[in-house]
Structure 1
């Protein structure tokens, strides 16, 4: 039995989707369950030439032998959920906790119409902030109140804990990143709830004593979408000259690019209870590393970067992404 949580260590967009997909294929979980906020987070998974961007279904969907859950703490937009079920063809193995809060059209209107949220904070406009506000006020609907969700309803904590009691492996998938946690991030430029590993466990009804590993995903060059402090941000001209241009999965806004932030990485690892780290984008540190699958073949420049990053994080780096495709990864767990 094992239970692993995978979360983002910077401001989101760290490449968690790819890391979840890889770990799923490697560790063969029976369940992959999503925590986090809701459809304001997009995860991208690339398999060969095909790219998937998902906002509700866990990004571990790419592993066909796992059931896919949406945890109790997550907000569900029934329209986005239905679209992804049809698009991915996973309706027979995807389930929603019956207590999930529901995003209504009214929440989206309030989100997009709020000058504070839309312009000052840089909200994605997906309705999550207003929906979480109504959830706290105890005025929102739950998944059990939505007729079209009836075929997918389940008790996620019961299923997860029962699976672990049977000795099965489960993955808990986080969303967003540590830097926009409501509690620990750059308030008020944050999302509408905590995003740390503790919250992802709570979102799924898994107690802290049942967590075996916390994988915190960091990006070699951190990025941020929307407003808010970003201490290592580069000028756009500098990141453009490096060939780094990215766009958000949900908003399609161009991401702000920064240099590695060792201080933030250390603090994030501490709060998240990191046991091992993943680094994505090492091919941007040195283009010669693109697609490499063995640690011994990394360049000295890349190894120097990883050594410093590991010192900053304070925990071993066990997964190194060398490109966007799911197989472009070094899994040191296999090579030790």
Structure 2
């Protein structure tokens, strides 16, 4: 394989950051490149005693050998981008495309009040208003911002050149399938498409150059903010199951529900998934915490995984068993 696309299968919060971090270290890609909406999506990564909360850079920055890049379809907050380069020791290997859009203070102001905030539950990051400005062709681009000039590269060219050389490229999606502007629970969605097709368009990767699509599902469903959630548990049941969580960017509590096979089937279809990653198996089956071998899982946990494979007709190749990037069972050939 040379190109692998990783996307969320539910409403975001599936644990993509952990899966991408693991793949970035394990598969040693030349390039880790991020598509998606903007800094409204957060990924949490635990490496040893360090916890990183990432909003702009790709989650694969732990691999010091890889270029970490942001595709032209993504809108950028320059302050967040530059701060993360420093905080995550990514200087000299972090780049963005000249066509990345720029979030300005006016977008932040617009995103923090009115219908976007009150009805849709926007993160306040300015991402939606910036993407709206882009659709109106009034948005500034990275090439217009002096402080970004030393970080600009031709991201589609770098990505496709690496693939031509049979080098590994890891493509990072944000949010989740049902937050897609086209395929999600409109209007309670993000400001663009975040399925595998949309993410590939964001970075300039054509469909014939995609080798693997990994859809990430959590072992249960969570959702931050407003919008429909089938079979939603009340807060007491959520807490009792140990499924009470909080959003990476907003800190808002996540609503929870059982694993949703109908949503999962649709996510498999929409993303042309070739593999499934399941995260937080250890939250659902505490006896599986920290396991790295499938044979060590309990019979209940194995039945849960087998049921997913039987119903979705796609192999579960990666299983998260804890918060650290190496708390994982890798069943890929």
Same fold (TM over 0.5): yes
TM-score normalised per structure 2? 0.98
Distance in 2 separating the partners of 1:252 and 1:189? 18
TM-score normalised per structure 1? 0.98
* Corresponding pairs, count: 333
The alignment partner of 2:273 has SS state of coil
Runs of 4+ more than 6 Å apart = none
2:74 is matched with 74
Distance in 2 separating the partners of 1:24 and 1:236? 35
1:8 is matched with 8
Structure 1 residues 179-194: aligned runs within 5 Å: 179-194=178-193
Distance in 1 separating the partners of 2:325 and 2:312? 24
CA positional deviation for 1:312: 2.9
1:87 is matched with 87
The alignment partner of 1:320 has SS state of strand
1:261 is matched with 260
Distance in 2 separating the partners of 1:43 and 1:284? 18
Which sits farther off after the overlay, 307-316 or 171-180? 307-316
1:319 is matched with 318
1:56 is matched with 56
1:204 is matched with 203
Distance in 2 separating the partners of 1:265 and 1:158? 33
Q: Does the aligned pair in 2 maintain the 1:95–1:152 contact within 8 Å?
A: yes
1:252 is matched with 251
CA positional deviation for 1:311: 2.4
1:165 is matched with 164
CA positional deviation for 1:232: 2.7
1:234-269: CA deviations, max 9, x gaps? 111001112222111100101111110001001001
1:73-129: CA deviations, max 9, x gaps? 000000111111111121210001000011001001001122x11011010010011
Distance in 2 separating the partners of 1:99 and 1:190? 24
Are 2:229 and 1:230 aligned? yes
Q: Does the aligned pair in 2 maintain the 1:265–1:312 contact within 8 Å?
A: no
CA positional deviation for 1:63: 1.2
1:14-33: CA deviations, max 9, x gaps? 00011001111121100000
Distance in 2 separating the partners of 1:280 and 1:40? 21
Distance in 2 separating the partners of 1:2 and 1:85? 26
2:278 is matched with 279
1:138 is matched with 137
Q: Does the aligned pair in 2 maintain the 1:97–1:154 contact within 8 Å?
A: yes
CA positional deviation for 1:165: 1.2
CA positional deviation for 1:48: 1.2
The alignment partner of 2:7 has SS state of strand
1:207-247: CA deviations, max 9, x gaps? 00000000000000111001000003211100111222211
The alignment partner of 2:32 has SS state of strand
Distance in 2 separating the partners of 1:166 and 1:295? 34
The alignment partner of 2:92 has SS state of coil
Task: Name structure 1 gaps, 5 residues minimum.
Answer: none
2:22 is matched with 22
Q: Does the aligned pair in 2 maintain the 1:266–1:314 contact within 8 Å?
A: no
Q: Does the aligned pair in 2 maintain the 1:35–1:204 contact within 8 Å?
A: yes
Q: Does the aligned pair in 2 maintain the 1:285–1:301 contact within 8 Å?
A: no
Distance in 2 separating the partners of 1:248 and 1:191? 15
CA positional deviation for 1:40: 0.1
1:31-84: CA deviations, max 9, x gaps? 000000000000011011210000000001011110010001000000111111
Which sits farther off after the overlay, 307-316 or 292-301? 307-316
Distance in 2 separating the partners of 1:2 and 1:257? 35
Cα RMSD over matched residues?
0.9
